[in-house]
Structure 1
């Protein structure tokens, strides 16, 4: 092996050592987190309600299997990205999922209750400015009448047939214990209370998220610039050294006859 060939291989090897750190950072930075979606979106459902869970995220066309976790157990026998079931009390708990090209999702809670009447909400914690939607739901979707919504024991809404109550612009005063009353046939039923918490600010949270993504992109650009600069610098230095070596060989070749 000539010295020139060895120098070229060293240059190629050097470039390989420079590029992997950036590649790994980009790969881990682009690894999306899977998301579990409930349909209907409510945290609480009644026994025998139909529920659909869907795992959303990037997947490999050649490998569409999904790994599901129920209460931190991965032995649950579901591999489809979406499935539908009739809820039982044993289905209560936390659900997470992971696809081929995603990281593990955040937990999504489902509570299955055996009762006549239920107050439903898509989440328990809201940010200031967000919309809060509550629903009064009867067993086996029996039609309700004379529906009332109460916050901390005080009536906040009454309607002959409307089962939903919404707050368009939530603030701290909307935190509290909510429940509903309604007639199923001739009998009035009362749901169990649900604690709703309003905190922080949706605008502040969104602003923090934007700044986080901007900082991440800036760091990745700087790493790319430094990595690329180092690569071309090393390559240029090695090429210069190779040219000097070849030039010295040529000079030595022509001077050799004169030295004899």
Structure 2
């Protein structure tokens, strides 16, 4: 009878322990270099996928506006940006869940006001950059806030706000000389406020009043999950290869970096 109960308990624990799923994996993150998500035509930008790489035979999957790209390396380079490169980019590494979309906007014009970030908490810094097409020299640069000149630079420099306050919210644009051309950027908007902060993850510690058998079951489940981790990732690897073979039929091969 005891042997039967022990076997049944073990079976229930094995059923209760999930194999590795997307929910168990950390999300990948798309990082831009340079870090600006608003750029001008002909700018170069590198999108890097950061996440657990997995075994050596894993590839990095990229998506553009939800369509799979042929790129399989950890970085995706746009050497000379075009308007049609605007959109949402996401990626997935060997042992990560798909990243959240990273938006990239490509604009036409002589000047573009870039900002990091567009939405900021009170007390955090803001970077503003009056960026010129093909990085041409810009002189006599003025940054405007809500229609009023805020800062003047004889030679183009970034405007840095070390600790933002609510009064820093509003519209911004910049103006400067490119040769003899007096050019202005389009107006952008920055929000400074008490942005919502995600609540911390619930504590995994047990209350002192928890029954001993719940603690034992949870510890046993964690132990079994640890033992099965290698098997789970092996199964996940095979599944990813099958999905990769299936996705190949729908890959947008015209999105190769060399086609930029």
When normalised by structure 2's length, the TM-score is 0.74
How many aligned positions are there?
218
Root-mean-square deviation (Å): 2.9
List structure 1 segments (4+ residues) > 3 angstroms apart after TM superposition: 25-30, 218-225, 229-232
Q: 2: CA distance between counterparts of 1:180 and 1:64? A: 45
Q: 1: CA distance between counterparts of 2:181 and 2:207? A: 63
Q: Secondary structure at the match of 2:58?
A: coil
Instruction: Report the alpha carbon displacement of residue 225 of structure 1 after superposing the two structures with TM.
Output: 7.1
Give the 3 Å change call, closer, same or farther, for CA 107–216 of structure 1 in structure 2: farther
Other-structure match for 1:218: 205
Structure 2 portions without partners, runs of 5+: 221-260
Structure 1 portions without partners, runs of 5+: 233-260
Q: 2: CA distance between counterparts of 1:59 and 1:125? A: 31
Give the 3 Å change call, closer, same or farther, for CA 219–72 of structure 1 in structure 2: farther
1:1-260 aligned at under 5 Å gives the runs 8=3, 10-21=5-16, 23-24=17-18, 30-74=24-68, 76-85=69-78, 86-200=80-194, 205=197, 209=199, 212-213=200-201, 215-218=202-205, 226=214, 228-229=216-217
Give the 3 Å change call, closer, same or farther, for CA 223–58 of structure 1 in structure 2: farther
| Contact 2:206–2:215, Cα closer than 8 Å, also in 1 | no
| Contact 1:39–1:52, Cα closer than 8 Å, also in 2 | yes
TM-superposition CA deviations, 1:121-141 (whole Å, max 9, x none): 133211111100010011111
When normalised by structure 1's length, the TM-score is 0.74
Instruction: Report the alpha carbon displacement of residue 153 of structure 1 after superposing the two structures with TM.
Output: 0.7
Bigger radius of gyration among the two = 1
Instruction: Report the alpha carbon displacement of residue 64 of structure 1 after superposing the two structures with TM.
Output: 3.0
Q: Secondary structure at the match of 1:102?
A: coil
Higher helix share: 1
Higher relative contact order (CA 8 A, sep 6+): 2
